Amino acid sequence: MADIVDIAVSAGSFTTLVTAVQAAGLVDVLKSPGPFTVFAPNDDAFAKLPPGTIQTLVQNIPQLTRILKYHVVPGKLKQADLAQLGTVTSVEGSTIKIDCSDGFEVKNATVLAADIEADNGVIHVIDRVILMG
């Protein structure tokens, strides 16, 4: 089975996320055994950010890294697991609210595709970039 990075690359709808992960030097981490749960914003999610945001983040690697780590949770948590928890703590250290009462939401993002199995975890595709705070 492919790992999280390989799945994101082969899907073709995560080019911005893959570029950001490469710029932040997180490829090796996300290829490691993990396991990880990744809330993966697709290219449309990144397109919703204000103009210039992505370029600014790529020039500020510590901030980019922090935002990317906020999208990753230790462990392999499927939708059913997340529904039981209600909140999780990201690798970045902040909590993320999970709401499965009416659909599947992660903070302010809607999950478009859940429980995508990877060799080293699980991916949930989200419709917007989530931010701390």
Q: Is residue 131 part of a domain?
A: no
The per-residue pLDDT for 70 is 97
The per-residue pLDDT for 27 is 96
Q: Which residues pair with 118 in a beta bridge?
A: 121
**Structural domain boundaries, residue 64:** 2-124
Average pLDDT over residues 3-24: 96
Q: Is residue 75 part of a domain?
A: yes
* pTM strictly above 0.75: yes
In three-state secondary structure terms, 130 is coil
CATH number of the domain where residue 109 is located: 2.30.180.10
Structural domain total, the chain: 1
Q: Could you tell me which of 84, 86, 92 has the C-alpha nearest to residue 38?
A: 92
Residue 21, class by beta-carbon neighbours within 10 Å (0-12 exposed, 13-18 middle, 19+ buried)?
A: buried
- Token digits for 72? 């990753």
Q: Is residue 86 part of a domain?
A: yes
pLDDT at 15 over 90: yes
Q: Is residue 129 part of a domain?
A: no
For 64-108, the pLDDT digits (tens) are 999 999 999 999 999 999 999 999 999 999 999 999 999 999 999
39: DSSP letter: E
pLDDT at 14 over 90: yes
Q: Is residue 69 part of a domain?
A: yes
pLDDT at 115 over 80: yes
- Token digits for 50? 């204000």
Confidence of residue 133 (pLDDT cuts 50, 70, 90): confident
Distances, alpha carbon 80 to alpha carbons 73, 93, 105, 106, 131, in Å: 15, 22, 12, 13, 23
Q: Is residue 132 part of a domain?
A: no
Q: Could you tell me which of 19, 33, 24, 104 has the C-alpha nearest to residue 96?
A: 104
Average pLDDT over residues 48-61: 93
The per-residue pLDDT for 21 is 97
In three-state secondary structure terms, 119 is coil
The per-residue pLDDT for 114 is 98
Average pLDDT over residues 30-37: 96
